[in-house]
Amino acid sequence: MSNRISHKNSRVDLNRPLTFTFDGQSYQGFAGDTLASALLANGVKVVARSFKYGRPRGIIGSGAEEPNALVQIDVGARTTPDLKATQVELYDGLVAGRTSGWPSLAFDLKSVGGKFSRFMPAGFYYKTFKWPTKLWPFYEDIIRRAAGYGKSPIEADTETYDHQHHHVDLLVVGGGATGLLAALLAGRSGLKVLLVDDQSELGGYLLSMPNILIGGVSASTWSANIINELQSLPNVSTLSRTTAFALHDMNMIQAVELLQDHLPHAARNNAQRRERLHRIRASKVVLATGAFERPLVFGNNDLPGIMTASALTTYLNRYGVACGKNAVIMTSNDLVYQGAVDLAEAGITVTIVDTREQINPEWAAKTNQLGIKVYVGYGISEAVGSGAVQGVQLVKLGSLKNVVTAKGPYVPCDVLASSGGLSPTVHLFCHDGGRPQWDDARLAFVVSANGRAKDGIFCVGAITGVFALQEGLAKTHDTIAELLTGLGKTINASGLVLETDEIAVTPARRIFNVPDGKDGYGAKAFVDFQNDVAVTDIHLAVRENYRSIEHIKRYTALGFGTDQGKLSNVNGFAIAAEALGKTIPEVGTTTYRPAYTPVSFGALAGAHVGDSFEPRRYTAVQTTHERYGAEFEPVGQWMRPWYFPKPGEDIHAAVNRECLATRNSVGMLDASTLGKIDIRGKDVREFLNRIYANAWSQLAVGKCRYGLMLDEAGMVMDDGVTACISDTHFLMTTTSGGAARVMTWLEKWHQTEWPELEVYMTSVTDHWTTAALVGPKSREVLAKLCTDIDLSKEAFKFMDWRDGKVAGVPARVFRISFSGELAYEVNVDASYGDYIWNELMKAGKEFDITPYGTETMHVLRAEKGFIIVGQDTDGSVTPFDLDMAWAVGMKKPYSFLGKRSLARSDTSRTDRKQLVGLLPEDPNVVLKEGAQLINSSDITPPVAMLGHVTSSYHSAFLGRSIAMGFVIDGIKRRDEEGNNIVYAWAEGKAVKVKIVSYVFVDAEGARHNA
């Protein structure tokens, strides 16, 4: 059955047939079709089953407003759920599937007996499925399967997406008549203009009304002329298939462009994006977003074959599809008449049911001429049909009140359309706080043309409630003139004739819900199709005392679907207002939030995927680490070698080997990621005294010192070794993850509190490659490469630094140790980083030098009892909690950052959690990091939490497990005899643990001083 007609202004190319499938069946369409128009052309009426009741549903709209025709497009990695068939452009080979109807579209279990509905009143989620809680997953599974909605792809996306930033003088949203005119007028003035439109071609509703004359030429010629001129202007760009979905502060508009989904697979370009997210910063914005037609609400208004009047007209004029042979159109206004005339002229039998007492005499004459029967003062109380609409029952309406005064005739039909007026598309206007106003004459929530002019937002066309084309064009001219005047520019409208041949509009009837005279016991009348919200549901919500429209929305799910209530909201507000005994403006609207239409995760992610998802920072030695087979772990943004497994080794074997090699001979760690800050100026010592907890006044040139950095609350925020290069020059190191934070911290205090201190700081983190040569043989290895530094124990002591040459490269060598071993940190210009690493490896070969990663570093430092900020601290730990009073210079004259807080009653309590060493009684048990420490193995509640484990490892050197953790009053509880016992509880097990000192290896420091 084909409903396709050859129509002179149709945008469909009947010479280019396309084949597609829907729900497993093959059909033919044409280039220029949407999936919806092609399905309607093929006579497909049922495209979905409804959410709650499983009722058959057809296509209602022709664009973003469509609530029913949610389809699954394509298969495999490209499959996309819940696209609106009205927005899917047809291409050859398109595969579309249903997203609802279980087990099939023809038979939906929910519809059995049609009686499921009594279990699903408004709020059914809250009422029916709440108890018992443990059954909720079961309910949810059944509900979700039955409700429908498509399936997400389970394969990785093979296509790419990106973001693009724009900065324009003017963004025009909407490429209909007024948007085109606005863009042209602004473009002529020289402004940098961007026009975005969601359709495949510009023109907006003119594409549906091609017969209207503008300035004496057809609408299609008029818009083609404007589009041609726009394309000739170098300062104007247009983006089609681009939906502006959000408007943020200061006119940041986000829009998503579909670049390839309209193309057959073979024509798609792998180098091109599937979608692009445009982020547009616009000095001025013109919203020409138009309006959606609002259907009237009546009994069985969800039968397939029922649509909006504008959709019926659009399918006829734009796509050459007659949705039936015998059409009934119900209206409250003049807007439907041109479409009715077009239908009649295309040979379709048309009946109009006009709810008004009087109709426009000009339209009365025209319809009469074409043999269109018009029932004046009637409404449709109920549509009749099984599976699709077959006729309508009319009722005579009261002249003043929307009540039934008499039963009317039954009129058979195969398609039914309605119009209750237009609802302006005000979404973007409202995303950042704007509110629409109810216009009682136009029966719509509208925005004024310059209501947000101070924000640079102007509105033209139907969004302002101006629904007639000629008036809209004239007002667009005036609004753009105002906009340009504000910019000191003048408007140039030469050659533009803006008169149309429209028939003047007469008033509409104020009606939303057509009465059926049955007091709520009649056929179900739907307000929101996607969520199956009927008039009775809104009434129930009001009876149950919901008063705010926001609450009624949430209780009934009105406007919750992927269509976001574009057809239903205003009807819902009006029906709620009536039930509440309030006016519509008193009830108001719900909140408009981004996104206007659904946006794919791909578009939102853009190029932030895969290896460019998050910055991965690498050291200069990366390729060598890879050659040595390193496994990596992220440390902040850095990717650091984690361990270097040899063939057949797991992480434990590798780490044990690396630890022993380092303690017994020599290992090497890439420490380049440590933050390094060069600080200079005559006040550098004073600056460090204020920034660090410990004292810096006496540190001699050539020496290094460990420092603890506290925040103002007295909590440890970073640590590291800082070297005195000269009296006015220090080099600070920070933790790898904390470098940027510390740099900002230093700058902030210097700029805001102590600008009088003469210091400057510069990050040199990336400049230096740092190779930490660690172990008893490190001196011998370094000696092979370095002749100009005296490496002897006496000349180059622990915590000294020296400048020299290593392997022929200028180097700064620090004799510092994060392992407790004899160690040298060799720093060279990172350009030589890979070179120096390889030279050190060669030099260390005779000692079986072993590269190691962060895991071994962690074990070695824990054996020595060195903390890691961020692992053993969490922002709530003072130096005293760490038993590190030695790193706090309480006698310094200036009250260093955090000092006063160390004396606060809470921080100076003696029973705080304090860092201790923990030895599991069973040396083979490695505690879980994060395990709770408790007093006994009995976990009958309540159980007092004494603390937790922060670091825990197997120490190959000690041949047993070790750990660090916090325990209330821990410092006092340390007992090397092992008499102070707690239990570490994790994952259902309690492990007996002794509280000891956290220095497990070489407490006296003989090794690092060697």
273 binding other proteins? (CB under 8 A): yes
User: CB of residue 594 vs other proteins: minimum separation in angstroms?
Assistant: 11
Name which position in 366, 554, 680, 972 contacts other proteins (CB under 8 A): 680
Cβ–Cβ < 8 Å for 678, 746: no
891 binding other proteins? (CB under 8 A): no
Q: Tell me how many residues contact other proteins (CB under 8 A).
A: 88
Name which position in 373, 646, 652, 904 contacts other proteins (CB under 8 A): 904
Tokens 């018992």 sit on residue: 132
Name which position in 830, 867, 918, 931 contacts other proteins (CB under 8 A): 830
d(CA 950, CA 865): 12
766 binding other proteins? (CB under 8 A): yes
Interactions with other proteins, residue window 547-576 (CB under 8 A): none
The residues with which 501 forms a beta bridge, in sequence order, are none
79 versus 838: smaller Cβ distance to other proteins: 838
User: CB of residue 165 vs other proteins: minimum separation in angstroms?
Assistant: 5
Determine the interface stretch with other proteins among 388-396, 456-464, 502-510, 804-812 (rule: CB under 8 A): 804-812
792 binding other proteins? (CB under 8 A): yes
992 binding other proteins? (CB under 8 A): no
User: CB of residue 90 vs other proteins: minimum separation in angstroms?
Assistant: 25
137 Rama sector, left if φ>0, alpha if ψ -120 to 50, beta otherwise: alpha
783 binding other proteins? (CB under 8 A): yes
DSSP states of 772-786 as a string? EEESTTHHHHHHHH-
Interactions with other proteins, residue window 605-634 (CB under 8 A): 607-608, 611-612, 614-620, 622-623
125 versus 749: smaller Cβ distance to other proteins: 749
248 binding other proteins? (CB under 8 A): yes
250 binding other proteins? (CB under 8 A): yes
d(CA 143, CA 136): 10
The count of other CB atoms within 10 Å of the CB of residue 952 is: 22
Which tokens hold the place of 734? 């920070």
Which tokens hold the place of 234? 């170098």
d(CA 167, CA 156): 33
The count of other CB atoms within 10 Å of the CB of residue 802 is: 18
758 binding other proteins? (CB under 8 A): yes
27 binding other proteins? (CB under 8 A): no
Cβ–Cβ < 8 Å for 553, 560: yes
840 binding other proteins? (CB under 8 A): no
957 binding other proteins? (CB under 8 A): no
713 binding other proteins? (CB under 8 A): yes
Exposed/middle/buried for 49, CB within 10 Å: 0-12, 13-18, 19+? buried
Interactions with other proteins, residue window 472-531 (CB under 8 A): none
Cβ–Cβ < 8 Å for 279, 254: yes
User: CB of residue 675 vs other proteins: minimum separation in angstroms?
Assistant: 11
258 binding other proteins? (CB under 8 A): no
d(CA 871, CA 221): 70
167 versus 325: smaller Cβ distance to other proteins: 167
User: CB of residue 272 vs other proteins: minimum separation in angstroms?
Assistant: 5
Determine the interface stretch with other proteins among 119-127, 462-470, 565-573, 748-756 (rule: CB under 8 A): 748-756
Pairing of strands 809-814, 94-98: unpaired
Determine the interface stretch with other proteins among 71-79, 489-497, 762-770, 911-919 (rule: CB under 8 A): 762-770
164 versus 600: smaller Cβ distance to other proteins: 164
Residue 181 dihedral angles phi and psi, to the nearest 5°: -65, -45
d(CA 858, CA 852): 11
Interactions with other proteins, residue window 627-666 (CB under 8 A): 638
Residue 1006 dihedral angles phi and psi, to the nearest 5°: -65, -35
User: CB of residue 729 vs other proteins: minimum separation in angstroms?
Assistant: 9
d(CA 967, CA 882): 11
287 versus 352: smaller Cβ distance to other proteins: 287
44 versus 743: smaller Cβ distance to other proteins: 743
User: CB of residue 250 vs other proteins: minimum separation in angstroms?
Assistant: 5
128 versus 726: smaller Cβ distance to other proteins: 726
135 versus 250: smaller Cβ distance to other proteins: 250
* 3-class DSSP assignment, residue 730: strand
The count of other CB atoms within 10 Å of the CB of residue 810 is: 12
280 versus 869: smaller Cβ distance to other proteins: 280
E strand residue ranges, 691-767: 704-710, 716-726, 729-734, 760-763
752 versus 940: smaller Cβ distance to other proteins: 752
363 versus 832: smaller Cβ distance to other proteins: 832
Pairing of strands 161-173, 193-196: parallel
d(CA 527, CA 559): 9
435 binding other proteins? (CB under 8 A): no
Cβ–Cβ < 8 Å for 205, 179: no
Helices H / strands E in the chain, number of each: 24, 49
User: CB of residue 363 vs other proteins: minimum separation in angstroms?
Assistant: 46
* 3-class DSSP assignment, residue 428: helix
User: CB of residue 253 vs other proteins: minimum separation in angstroms?
Assistant: 10
167 binding other proteins? (CB under 8 A): yes
805 binding other proteins? (CB under 8 A): yes
Q: At what angle do helices 535-543 and 549-556 cross, to 10 degrees?
A: 120
User: CB of residue 455 vs other proteins: minimum separation in angstroms?
Assistant: 9
d(CA 800, CA 804): 13
Name which position in 9, 28, 79, 164 contacts other proteins (CB under 8 A): 164
Interactions with other proteins, residue window 369-388 (CB under 8 A): none
Rg, Å, the chain Cα set = 38
502 versus 834: smaller Cβ distance to other proteins: 834
Cβ–Cβ < 8 Å for 681, 728: yes
250 versus 267: smaller Cβ distance to other proteins: 250
Name which position in 170, 807, 816, 982 contacts other proteins (CB under 8 A): 807
Cα dist. 464→573, 735, 786, 879 in Å? Answer: 19, 58, 80, 64
Q: At what angle do helices 651-664 and 854-864 cross, to 10 degrees?
A: 60
d(CA 947, CA 941): 16
40 versus 843: smaller Cβ distance to other proteins: 843
Residue 295 has what DSSP assignment? P
176 versus 675: smaller Cβ distance to other proteins: 675
Question: Max CA-CA distance within the chain?
Answer: 115
Interactions with other proteins, residue window 691-710 (CB under 8 A): none
Which tokens hold the place of 863? 């054996």
Determine the interface stretch with other proteins among 90-98, 245-253, 309-317, 561-569 (rule: CB under 8 A): 245-253
888 binding other proteins? (CB under 8 A): no
Of the candidates 571, 517, 295, which has an alpha carbon nearest to the alpha carbon of residue 393?
A: 517
Determine the interface stretch with other proteins among 115-123, 224-232, 247-255, 954-962 (rule: CB under 8 A): 247-255
The residues with which 707 forms a beta bridge, in sequence order, are 720
331 binding other proteins? (CB under 8 A): no
Please report which residue ranges of 666-787 form alpha helices under DSSP H. Answer: 684-691, 739-752, 778-785
Cβ–Cβ < 8 Å for 479, 459: yes
846 binding other proteins? (CB under 8 A): no
681 binding other proteins? (CB under 8 A): yes
Name which position in 725, 785, 918, 931 contacts other proteins (CB under 8 A): 785
Name which position in 316, 444, 666, 786 contacts other proteins (CB under 8 A): 786
Name which position in 109, 143, 224, 252 contacts other proteins (CB under 8 A): 252
